[in-house]
Amino acid sequence: MKPGDAIPELRVTPDSGATARYAEASGDANPIHTDPDFARRAGLPGVILHGLYSMAQAARASVDAQGGDPRRLKRLAVQFRGMGVPERELTVSGVMREGRDGRLLIDLTVSQAGRRLIRRGEAEVET
Amino acid sequence: MHEEVVRNLYEAFDRVDLEGVLEHLAPEVRWSTLDLNLEPRSYSGVAEVRDFLAGVFASSRRFSLELDDLLVVGDHVLAHARLRAPQARHGTGYPLAQLWTLQADGLVNRHRLYLSPARAANALCRRLGTARFRVDRSSIRRYAEAVHDANPVYHEVAAAEAAGFADLVAPPMFAAVYSAEAIWTEVLATLAGSGPIDRPEAILHVGQELSWARPVEAGDVVATHAWLDEAVTRGGMELLVFRSLSWSAQGREVAQGTWTVAVGGTGR
C-alpha cells in the first residue's frame, strides 16, 4: 500500500455479551461497561463499549492492512470521543500517509451510526 | 537526558577515555562490578572508581564493550552490552547488563553490572513499583476472541510458528492487558486523595497512545512500571496523563503507553 490509499474498511458489530467478554479478557472492571443498572444510574443509556475495545478494532484494521503481521504495527495513538454501545455496527476506516524512516502513517477513525468514537487515530506501520 | 548520558559513557569507554567516564559520575557514586577475573567488586566514590577503571583501561586491548540496547525507566537505565575481543571475527560477544541509576542533574550515582540480563531486569523491578504479567496461550486467545480478531497467529501455535514466532503471539493491543494492573493501580492511587474514586463514571479515558518495541508471546513475563506524568486542568476537567513502560524478563523494552484520563466531567 502507498500514501493516499484507503485501507480495507473493517466492520464489526459487538454483540450484547461483548463488553462482558472484553472486561474479563482485559481486567477492566469498570461497571459502566458491564452493569446496565449502574450505567443508567450514571446517566448513560446503558452499558457502553470500552474505549480500548474500539482502539483494538483500529489496531486490527491496521495489522490486517499489513498482511496480518502484528510486528509491523509500531505505534497507535487515538482520542476517545463519543460513547459506543453494543449491538450496533462499528466501522473502522483509514487512509495511508507518508511517515518518517520509510514508515507509513494511517489516519484512522472508528465510527458507529455516523458518530465518531475515535478521532485523530494515527497508526505508524512498517511496510 | 539520562539516555544521552549513558550513551556518552559507552562512547567514552570505547575511546578508553577515563576522564570522559568520570565526568558523568556523582562524587559519592557507588560502583558494583566484576574485575577482570569476574570476581565481584564494589567501589565507593569517584576516587575508588578511578583507580579501578584505570586498571581496566590499562588492559583495554583485551576487549571492547559494545552497546546493544537501552531501556530507560525513570532514573534507571538498563544497558545491554557485549564484551568482545577486538581481534575476534566470529561470535556475538559476551552479553552483559549494566544498570545505571542517575540523579536529577544527570550524574550517575549507582552502577551495577550483571552477567545475566534476567537478573538485571529483576533488579529493576525491585527498585520500581512494578506489576508483572505472565502471558499464556489462553489469555492471548481469550483477548483475541473478545475483540473478534481471528488472525491465526493469535490462535494457532502452528500458524504463529510459521510466521516466525516461538509460540502464540499476542495482538499489539494486548498491551492494555499486561499494563492494566500497573496503570490502574497508579490511576487509583492518584485519585484516592483527590477525587471521585467512588464514581467510576466520572473517570473518563479520553486518549491513548501505545508504541511497540517487540512482540509478546505465550510464556513471556512482562513487567510494567507506570507513573503520573502530567496533570492539567482544562474546561473544568482535570486531565491526568499517565505513562507506562513494559519490559521483558530479559530487560528488553516491549511497549510504552501514554494514558490520558479526564476526571470530574459529566460527559464527552
Beta strands in chain B, from DSSP E residues, in sequence order: 25-34, 40-44, 64-73, 76-84, 94-102, 108-114, 131-134, 203-212, 221-234, 237-247, 253-263
Q: Closest-CA residue in chain A for B184? A: A28
Cell numbers 450514571: residue: A42
Q: Which of B141, B148, B184, B198 to mutate to test the interface with A (most CBs of A within 10 A)?
A: B148
Average pLDDT over residues B222-245: 92
A to B CB pairs, distance under 8 Å: 115
A13 interfacial to chain B (CB closer than 8 Å): no
Q: Residues A51, B182: contact at Cβ < 8 Å?
A: no
Average of per-residue pLDDT values in chain B? 90
Sign of the Cα pseudo-torsion (A51, A57, A58, A60, in order):
positive
pLDDT of B263: 85
Average pLDDT over residues B39-63: 87
Least Cα distance to B175 among A70, A38, A104 occurs for A70
Average pLDDT over residues A76-85: 94
pLDDT of B268: 42
Average pLDDT over residues B74-102: 84
Average pLDDT over residues B7-33: 94
- pLDDT of B62 > 70? The answer is no
Task: Say what the ipTM of the complex is.
Answer: 0.96
Q: Which of B30-39, B68-77, B155-164 has the lowest mean pLDDT?
A: B30-39
Sign of the Cα pseudo-torsion (B157, B162, B163, B164, in order):
positive
Whether residue B211 and residue A74 make contact (CB cut-off 8 A), yes or no, is: yes
- pLDDT of B39 > 70? The answer is yes
- pLDDT of B60 > 60? The answer is no
Can you give the pTM of this predicted structure?
Answer: 0.89
Contacts of residue B240, defined as CB under 8 A and 6 or more positions apart, other chains included, come to: B187, B190, B228, B230, B231, B260, B261, B262, B263
Contacts of residue A20, defined as CB under 8 A and 6 or more positions apart, other chains included, come to: A34
Q: Residues B130, B51: contact at Cβ < 8 Å?
A: no
Cα B210 from Cα A77, distance rounded (Å): 6
Whether residue A68 and residue B153 make contact (CB cut-off 8 A), yes or no, is: yes
Q: For B191-213, write each residue's pLDDT tens digit.
A: 886 656 666 667 788 999 999 99
Average pLDDT over residues B107-133: 92
CB atoms within 10 A of CB A15: 11
Task: Out of B119-128, B227-236, B246-255, give the one with best mean pLDDT.
Answer: B246-255
- pLDDT of B267 > 50? The answer is no
Give residue B160's pLDDT band: very low, low, confident or very high (50, 70, 90): very high
Cα A90 from Cα A87, distance rounded (Å): 9
Average pLDDT over residues B6-31: 94
B142 interfacial to chain A (CB closer than 8 Å): yes
- pLDDT of A9 > 90? The answer is yes
- pLDDT of A48 > 80? The answer is yes
Whether residue B171 and residue A56 make contact (CB cut-off 8 A), yes or no, is: yes
pLDDT of B7: 96
The number of residues making up chain B comes to 268
- pLDDT of A65 > 90? The answer is yes
